[in-house]
Amino acid sequence: MSTAMAVTDETFEAEIEKHEGLAVVDFWATWCAPCRRIAPILDELAAEYSGKAKVAKLDVDANQKTSIRFNVRSIPLVLFFKAGKVVDQVVGQVPKPILAEKFRKHAA
C-alpha cells in the first residue's frame, strides 16, 4: 500500500499548489514499468520525511489536464514544489540516493 496520496486534475491545486511546504509529485501510469520500480523508493522517502514533505502520485492517463500543464513528456517524472512553484525535477528511474538528496535539499 502506497503512503503517497493520489491527486487528480480536480485536487492538484488544493493539495499541491496551495501547500506551503515541500510537495513531491510522482507523475506515473499503470503500464509504466520504471514507474512501478520507483514507487517503493518514493514510499520510503514519504515515510522518512513524514511531516516535512507531502508526497503525491498523479496518474498521467487519468489526469491529462495537469500532465499537459506541466509539460510531462516522459515518465516517471517527479516534480518538487515549494509554495506552489516547481523548484526541481527528476526524470526517469533513478536510484534512491538521487531522490533522497533532492528531498534533503528541499525539505530543509
Q: What per-residue confidence (pLDDT) applies to 108?
A: 78
Total structural domains in the chain? 1
C-alpha distances (whole Å) from 62 to each of 26, 65, 105 are 14, 9, 31
Which residue, 52, 81, 82, 77, is CA-closest to 67?
A: 77
The C-alpha cell 520525511 sits at 49
**Is residue 85 pLDDT above 60, yes or no?**
yes
Q: What per-residue confidence (pLDDT) applies to 2?
A: 65
- For 4-62, how does the pLDDT look when each residue is reduced to its tens digit (9 = 90+)? 899 999 999 999 999 999 999 999 999 999 999 999 999 999 999 999 999 999 999 99
Give the range of the structural domain holding residue 87, as residue numbers without chain letter. 5-107
**Which 8-state DSSP code applies to residue 102?**
H
Mean pLDDT of 59-80: 97
pLDDT band at 3 (very low <50, low <70, confident <90, very high): confident
Residues assigned a catalytic role: 32, 35
CATH number at residue 10: 3.40.30.10
